[in-house]
Amino acid sequence: MVQQETHTPETRSQTLTRRFLQSRELSLTLCEPLNIEDYGLQAAAEVSPPKWHLAHTSWFYETFILKSYLDNYNCINPRFEILFNSYYQGVGPQFSRPQRGLLSRPTLEEVLEYRKLVETQIVKLIQQQGENQGLLNLVELGINHEQQHQELLLTDIKYCFSFNPLLPAYIDPRKLGADEQASPSKMVSFEGADCITGTESEAFHFDNETPAHKVYINDFKLANRLVTNGEYLEFIEDGGYQDAALWLSDGWDHINREGWKRPLYWHCRDGEWFEYTLHGLLPLQHSTPATHISYYEADAFARWAGKRLPTEFEWERAAGIYPEGRGQCLEHSIEKGCFIPQSAQTKFTLAQMIGDCWEWTSSAYAPYPGYRPLPGAVGEYNGKFMCNQYVLRGGSCVTTSEHIRTTYRNFFYPKDRWQFSGIRLAD
Amino acid sequence: MVQQETHTPETRSQTLTRRFLQSRELSLTLCEPLNIEDYGLQAAAEVSPPKWHLAHTSWFYETFILKSYLDNYNCINPRFEILFNSYYQGVGPQFSRPQRGLLSRPTLEEVLEYRKLVETQIVKLIQQQGENQGLLNLVELGINHEQQHQELLLTDIKYCFSFNPLLPAYIDPRKLGADEQASPSKMVSFEGADCITGTESEAFHFDNETPAHKVYINDFKLANRLVTNGEYLEFIEDGGYQDAALWLSDGWDHINREGWKRPLYWHCRDGEWFEYTLHGLLPLQHSTPATHISYYEADAFARWAGKRLPTEFEWERAAGIYPEGRGQCLEHSIEKGCFIPQSAQTKFTLAQMIGDCWEWTSSAYAPYPGYRPLPGAVGEYNGKFMCNQYVLRGGSCVTTSEHIRTTYRNFFYPKDRWQFSGIRLAD
Amino acid sequence: MVQQETHTPETRSQTLTRRFLQSRELSLTLCEPLNIEDYGLQAAAEVSPPKWHLAHTSWFYETFILKSYLDNYNCINPRFEILFNSYYQGVGPQFSRPQRGLLSRPTLEEVLEYRKLVETQIVKLIQQQGENQGLLNLVELGINHEQQHQELLLTDIKYCFSFNPLLPAYIDPRKLGADEQASPSKMVSFEGADCITGTESEAFHFDNETPAHKVYINDFKLANRLVTNGEYLEFIEDGGYQDAALWLSDGWDHINREGWKRPLYWHCRDGEWFEYTLHGLLPLQHSTPATHISYYEADAFARWAGKRLPTEFEWERAAGIYPEGRGQCLEHSIEKGCFIPQSAQTKFTLAQMIGDCWEWTSSAYAPYPGYRPLPGAVGEYNGKFMCNQYVLRGGSCVTTSEHIRTTYRNFFYPKDRWQFSGIRLAD
Amino acid sequence: MVQQETHTPETRSQTLTRRFLQSRELSLTLCEPLNIEDYGLQAAAEVSPPKWHLAHTSWFYETFILKSYLDNYNCINPRFEILFNSYYQGVGPQFSRPQRGLLSRPTLEEVLEYRKLVETQIVKLIQQQGENQGLLNLVELGINHEQQHQELLLTDIKYCFSFNPLLPAYIDPRKLGADEQASPSKMVSFEGADCITGTESEAFHFDNETPAHKVYINDFKLANRLVTNGEYLEFIEDGGYQDAALWLSDGWDHINREGWKRPLYWHCRDGEWFEYTLHGLLPLQHSTPATHISYYEADAFARWAGKRLPTEFEWERAAGIYPEGRGQCLEHSIEKGCFIPQSAQTKFTLAQMIGDCWEWTSSAYAPYPGYRPLPGAVGEYNGKFMCNQYVLRGGSCVTTSEHIRTTYRNFFYPKDRWQFSGIRLAD
């Protein structure tokens, strides 16, 4: 991202206009390696086609901004109100989620045209409204919303490609790091204390990070890096997937019902291990973090290792104390042409806290005390999902770095593993 | 099809080369109205994406001809052996049928290239081998195989489009007929007799039409035309879908489990009836045949009408006696630009016997006495499906007219209704 | 059954009163080996608890006779109208079929009381009405109906017991025959001819056996006995369950989805074969008929053996020509205390045609030409099931011998194998 | 319970012997109203037949005590090791859980015999071992285990009976209270503080209540009583089940998929409301607590009421401060002959905290910091279920009062509602 050289500071509306256009551009950049036939792929209900991501992120701006701020606004296409509504019951009906892959029409061309029309009107509206903070807050929400879908776009395409026996590469690797054995992880100690969790800063954050509130955190230890592929392989070779004693009851049922014996994208061919990546099938690297791990597997690994997963409060506290150890995020991935979590840099007390892999915590996703969702349909963004899911922290190699922060709460079901999710141990 | 003006009669190899190339061309012609994004659609396990049809019909030639007749033949792409094998266990493993829509790669361009390569080699092989009847038999089988997939290509795309709320038109209608009320149908009588069913002619036919054999057929009557939309609407308005006494037990369970209240593509909006067609949503025409009807519905309609469905033997006998009443087939559809079954022409004793709609018979699909499948993997073509399905006769508006004949046996499950299947009553 | 010694011949009402009481008694006799806790078992939707059979066979008399013939009839218990209605839509709603096992109330005692009340009234009604043929026809239907449920009672209890790791015996074996290797089967030849199938005799028969009608039957051969366990074991050991080429497509899908590797009740322990029977787990007898075989398996076995299954017309014709070879039926089973199909007696041209095992035919269950179901709700008895099922002929070791005849058509789905169903080969 | 009149205080072994025998007796007492046919009922996988509960609670003693403490112990029946193992992977294989209802054998008589044999040996073993605290700890665990199954026995039989259209009563009501409208609930305030949650007392408790640990609890308010049927009816009549905005996303999906419109046991007949109870179908009482409510419904009700559910920490703290308001527990139910939660007694600051209904908390079931399960297979008791479930507090009208305490953590899935689970609001 190029630094603007300017002497008068940007206004918020200028900043957000710039960031808006950059984020809109990034979505298209991420699609560049795709063939047009890839845009319609949907291999599971919870995965969306690239074209749908492109359309939905435009629908979001149209629905929550253009419709509210423009008098007598005429929808660009009334059919899109239904087709590209994800789950906002307060907005109206939604097209069947598992069937998004059946929407060969509107075509990609029409969706790109839709994007353009929305963009033009958003930019014009910001200009007209000046420093209207209510509007700008929604624009900033829209940018963050699109950033989430940029990550999903990459994880979804990886998932869909993985069903194709050709195991297509999203992009050819420019350069993969050498695979050295990672040095043993160390446990960093923290003393029990009353702490503040969550945020009330003026900077952008989601409603689920509020209110800031006190929690008492006991003494704990946190690993200085993520669990590596090499370590996870030991767990497999030690019979981890065959030993009921290591697993949660629901996890044991799940892995047996689904026949899981290894992480989502691992392959064993003639005794050699490989990992399917956005660069196609590659030999398994022992030093890079184990990723595409479900909560069930993360929890079982931790039990096998004689450890446990951290709570989200422990994680957030540690990340606040040692903010320096950032790993690979989306910009870095684009720059290096390498969309794989990277080995930990040992110079940091806590490496890889931001970037590389989302880190499962043992905290069920729940509202903070006093939590209030945003008013209106946009309040469905986070609150209604606070059940049956677990919190993940820290972002991944396909999370935009400006999108992630230490108070950020991501959430998935314990069976989910199509995200770049990994393991950091605690004790 | 233009008649060749030539004085020396064509050899069989010349005829089949010509027909081979024509049929290959027709597949592409039928795809012309599609956008590239339509080529990957798969809305149900039994439906295949257009791109897959294009590839599989080439795979068929490569597998059963090129591999057999060419020494040291190298597969065009060894991956295609699995990806485009439909169900031939004798050939080897098959890619998961319900996931064909996930094959964004190979791209359409690569598949078209694959088609070309196969075509070139087939033509060359025919030239080399001259009047090799074994080879020519397989080429003719391949042509007929591709003709079947041409029909499926149209019925599958219609089915997939129907899930899209935009209800896209495959092609704009050039001209739809006026909708006059059909005159009442008449029952044509036939006397009981020992008859020959099936064929042993030298002309092409599938193995399931053989051997010709004697069956005793009782006195029967057959309707002079297909049941119309108007008549089927009366059945609906008379509460046909609510009256258990009209239905087979399995049919009653099925329509209640699925919530069926009308034919697959009928819509009722504010009391007005519409039908989704390859031309998009159109007002329901009362005089044209009811189509996309399952066996369960056809059987219930017949019971409501105080009639029954004919056996396949009755149908074949009647069609042999009154061969004149051909309706609309694929060539006619292309020529008229109208891919909808047409009203019966009353000048014929038995109208619409060939073309317009496949006609459900009450005959379970079973081998004829003495039936022997073709030897080798190609013997899986028909024989292994002789269970749980019913025979349909007569072809439809999207069946190539040179593909269909009075001894032809099509077959589908009693719940199936995505084909152009209709009802002819018997008594 | 003991012959009545009387000089004046019995009237029909006397005969049927006697047979009615005998058949009512037999149902209770068959339940004698059960513990009270066995009466509620239901291991699958298509299987009913013994108590339900006892109640439903009484409901049948109450619903179709007492309610019709008695003025101002008051139901014994209005709740029973729903609880014990099997599938008669014309009578009214039915309690959920898969949940019959949840009816711990009414208790067995109450059901036995219900039986008594119905019996008393039926006997009284027959006495009052004298030779009312309409009434007597329904009584005879009721007797035959109860006979069918007597067979189901035994096959259902066997099925339910088979889920219990204790593999309980319904009854201890009094004496099992020695297990000699069966002599090779022979094929008996028949010449093609127009034949009459079905019946219009005055003796009792179901509506699905009518009308008698002409069919042309080609030359065929029929095996002189049923396929034995020993022969079926050869099929297994030859890899029959692993060779797709032997199976119907639906059959192959089914056995793989269900993991079938052997007949329903066969067990292999340390290389030794056993069969679960109504006498508990016994060493597999090689000379007795293979039973509890699905249509899919019967068809695959026949293909492996280079033969086929007979049509129901072939079977009926052969049974008419060689009526002498009756095997073991229910009375014999009770007498011998042996509820297992017996080895073929070689003195007969066609052994085991009646009794031992139901024999799968290749004929889909369909109405005979001109078939008309009985009027009213009782017409649902047979007609509405004429879809997706195959005809079996000849009865089994748990079919009452007075219930079975050569024109009798039983029917089950091709996947079904909890009946005593076996294989007779044809060619 | 009769007080022992003795001057020398009981030893622990004497106390536990007495309590052991009392609890064994209570299981049989609770079964007295059952018919023998009720003992085998199983209407869902998570529900067990009464006979199985009787056997499993004996298996528990045999497996964890007799096998450990008796040298060369011979199993009473080796088959029972599998049949009556619930979920202890560390012990060995288990009979299929959803099929427990198929175990008509061993008979009730055999199970009662099994119970006797286990009891005799346990009593003898305690006598032999004296004050062996390890043994006595396991005996006390076994007593508590059986107490849990006593509650399940009643909730399971209620669930199974509810499928029977006869809606059988477990027991006739001796006396139901008058139904007065409950007075409005009040919110009791608590100030934020660091608190100790969990226990390390010497009295019996489960491992999941440990270790005692500090948590910071914000200011909160807790309702002085449970939500009543009358209040819940208002929610229904206000369209609560039709308003997506009130529901968690998973809850909304669930109620629509299952067609839920009211609590599990409510019936609406001609506009009148009834509730199925252990006394059969009764008119809905407005003043008694709404019960058999899922977490999804409890959460939606709370949102509709402008409140929320308490955390388990808030609940435990409040219960510690106001210990006086105990409601109806199992002993009281037996004594009064009334197995229904009772109206709140308004004299208490916090009524109904113990007894009447389990109270859903918003706390996901998770290990306390530093939690360690018991060693060995018995450690599977609680720990492996700490995922996807929510904590309920306070016991119900069918919980033994000596079994329940303020630190007790029960847990069920958010969809579960066959327990006596109700709602206490917080703010």
Radius of gyration of the CA atoms of chain C, in A: 22
Q: Is C57 left (phi over 0), alpha (psi -120 to 50) or beta?
A: alpha
Phi, psi at C46, each rounded to 5°:
-85, 5
Q: Is the dihedral of CA D224, D230, D234, D240 positive or negative?
A: positive
Hey, are the CB atoms on A38 and B104 less than 8 Å from each other? yes
- Distance of alpha carbon B118 from alpha carbon C405, whole angstroms: 59
Q: Where are the beta strands (DSSP E) in D315-420?
A: 358-364, 390-393, 410-412
Please report the DSSP string for C23-54 in residue order: HHHHHHHHHTT--GGGGG---STT---HHHHH
Buried b (16+ CB within 10 A) or exposed e, A252-288: bebbeeeebebbbbbeeeeeebbbbbbbbeeebbbbb
pTM for the predicted model, two decimal places: 0.96
Please report the DSSP string for C227-294 in residue order: PBHHHHHHHHHTTGGG-GGGS-HHHHHHHHHHT--S-TTEEEETTEEEEEETTEEEEPPSSSBP-S--
Q: Which chains touch D (3 or more CB pairs under 8 A)?
A: A, C
Q: Is D93 on the interface with C (CB under 8 A)?
A: no
Q: Which residues of C touch B363 (CB under 8 A)?
A: 366
Query: Of the candidates A40, A107, A163, which has its C-beta nearest B99's C-beta?
Result: A163
Give the chain B residue whose CA is nearest to the CA of C365. B364
Q: List the single best residue of C249, C254, C374 to mutate versus B (max B Cβ within 10 A).
A: C249
Q: How far is D375 from chain C (nearest CA, A)?
A: 30
Q: How far is A110 from chain D (nearest CA, A)?
A: 31
Q: Which residues of D touch C40 (CB under 8 A)?
A: 37, 40-41, 104
What pLDDT was estimated at residue D6? 57
D109 contacts: CB under 8 Å, gap ≥ 6: none
What pLDDT was estimated at residue A1? 45
DSSP label at residue D62: I
Q: Is B107 on the interface with A (CB under 8 A)?
A: yes
Q: How far is A82 from chain B (nearest CA, A)?
A: 9
**Is the ipTM, as predicted for this complex, more than 0.85?**
yes
The pairing of strands A358-364 and A421-422 is parallel
Give the chain D residue whose CA is nearest to the CA of A194. D216
Give me the torsion for CA of A128, A134, A139, A141, rounded to 10°. Answer: 180
pLDDT (tens digit, 9 = 90+) per residue, C318-368? 999 999 889 999 999 999 999 999 999 889 999 999 999 999 999 999 999
- Distance of alpha carbon B1 from alpha carbon B5, whole angstroms: 12
Q: List the single best residue of D88, D360, D384, D427 to mutate versus A (max A Cβ within 10 A).
A: D384
H or E stretch at B28 = helix B12-31
**Domain A12-161, architecture per CATH:** Up-down Bundle (1.20)
Q: Is D81 on the interface with C (CB under 8 A)?
A: no
pLDDT (tens digit, 9 = 90+) per residue, D269-312? 999 999 999 999 999 999 999 999 999 999 999 999 999 999 99
Residues 145-164 in B contacting A (C-alpha not used; CB under 8 Å): 160-161, 163-164
Residues 347-386 in A contacting D (C-alpha not used; CB under 8 Å): 362-364, 366-367, 369-370, 380, 384-386
- Residue D1 reports pLDDT greater than 50: no
Q: Going residue by residue through chain B, which has 427 residues, state the pLDDT in tens, using 9 for 90 and above.
A: 455 555 788 999 999 999 999 999 999 999 999 999 999 999 999 999 999 999 999 999 999 999 999 999 999 999 999 999 999 999 999 999 999 999 999 999 999 999 999 999 999 999 999 999 999 999 999 999 999 999 999 999 999 999 999 999 999 877 666 666 778 899 999 999 999 999 999 999 999 999 999 999 999 999 999 999 999 999 999 999 999 999 999 999 999 999 999 999 999 999 999 999 999 999 999 999 999 999 999 999 999 999 999 999 999 999 999 988 899 999 999 999 999 999 998 899 999 999 999 999 999 999 999 999 998 999 999 999 999 999 999 999 999 999 999 999 999 999 999 999 999 999 9
The residue behind tokens 């080969």 is C425
What percentage of chain D exceeds 90 in pLDDT? Answer: 93
Give me the torsion for CA of A245, A251, A254, A260, rounded to 10°. Answer: -70
Q: Is C166 on the interface with D (CB under 8 A)?
A: yes
Hey, are the CB atoms on B41 and A79 less than 8 Å from each other? no
Q: Is D249 on the interface with A (CB under 8 A)?
A: yes
Mean pLDDT of D321-328: 92
Q: Which residues of D touch A192 (CB under 8 A)?
A: 214
Give the chain D residue whose CA is nearest to the CA of C106. D166
Closest CA to A403 of A221, A168, A144, A174: A144
Please report the DSSP string for B358-406 in residue order: EEEEEEE--PPTT--PPSSGGGGTTGGG-SS-EEEES--TTS-GGG--T
Q: How many helices and strands (H and E) does chain D possess?
A: 11, 11
Mean pLDDT of D61-73: 96
Closest CA to D46 of D178, D175, D160, D161: D160
Query: Cβ distance A231 to A293 under 8 Å?
Result: no
As given in the structure block, the two tokens for residue C318 are 């052969």
Q: Which fold has domain D187-422?
A: paralog of FGE (formylglycine-generating enzyme) (3.90.1580)
Q: Would you kindly state where each structural domain of chain B is located, as residue ranges? A: 12-161, 187-422
Hey, are the CB atoms on D104 and C163 less than 8 Å from each other? no
CA distances from B76 to B59, B128, C179, C335, D426 (A): 10, 20, 58, 70, 69
For residue B268, the cross-strand partners are B273
Query: Of the candidates D36, D99, D165, which has its C-beta nearest C163's C-beta?
Result: D99
- Are chains B and D in contact at 3+ CB pairs closer than 8 Å? no
Averages of pLDDT over runs of 10 residues in chain A (427 residues) are 66 98 98 98 98 98 97 94 95 96 98 98 97 97 98 98 97 73 90 96 96 97 98 98 97 98 98 97 96 98 98 98 93 94 93 97 97 92 96 98 97 98 98
Q: Is C92 on the interface with B (CB under 8 A)?
A: no
Q: How far is C388 from chain B (nearest CA, A)?
A: 5
Hey, are the CB atoms on A168 and B106 less than 8 Å from each other? no
Own/partner pairs, C5-11, CB within 8 angstroms, 24+ separation? C11/C131
DSSP label at residue A289: B
Length of chain C measured in residues:
427
Query: Of the candidates A99, A107, A164, which has its C-beta nearest B102's C-beta?
Result: A164
| The residue type at B278 | L
Query: Of the candidates B87, B216, B384, which has its C-beta nearest C216's C-beta?
Result: B216
Query: Cβ distance B195 to B313 under 8 Å?
Result: yes
Hey, are the CB atoms on A99 and B41 less than 8 Å from each other? no
Query: Cβ distance A354 to A345 under 8 Å?
Result: no
Q: How far is C86 from chain D (nearest CA, A)?
A: 15
Buried b (16+ CB within 10 A) or exposed e, A58-71: bbbbbbbbbeebee
The residue behind tokens 């300017």 is A6
Q: Which chains touch C (3 or more CB pairs under 8 A)?
A: B, D
- Residue C183 reports pLDDT greater than 50: yes
Query: Of the candidates C247, C249, C387, which has its C-beta nearest B414's C-beta?
Result: C387
Cβ burial, residue C23 (10 Å; 0-12/13-18/19+): buried
Give me the torsion for CA of D355, D358, D359, D362, rounded to 10°. Answer: 150
pLDDT (tens digit, 9 = 90+) per residue, C255-309? 999 999 999 999 999 999 999 999 999 999 999 999 999 999 999 999 999 999 9
Radius of gyration of the CA atoms of chain B, in A: 22
What pLDDT was estimated at residue C178? 66
Q: Is B218 on the interface with C (CB under 8 A)?
A: yes
Q: Is C130 on the interface with B (CB under 8 A)?
A: no
Hey, are the CB atoms on A160 and B40 less than 8 Å from each other? no
Hey, are the CB atoms on D104 and C165 less than 8 Å from each other? no
- Please state the separation of Cα D121 from the chain's center in Å: 28
Mean pLDDT of C199-228: 97
- Distance of alpha carbon A175 from alpha carbon B406, whole angstroms: 64
Please report the DSSP string for C341-359 in residue order: --PPPTTSSSTTSBSSSEE
**3 state SS of A364:** strand
Closest CA to D37 of C54, C149, C115: C54
Report how many Cβ contacts below 8 Å link chain C to chain D. 80
Cβ burial, residue C396 (10 Å; 0-12/13-18/19+): buried
Q: Considering chain D, what is the average pLDDT of its residues?
A: 95
Hey, are the CB atoms on C165 and D82 less than 8 Å from each other? yes
Q: Is C79 on the interface with D (CB under 8 A)?
A: yes
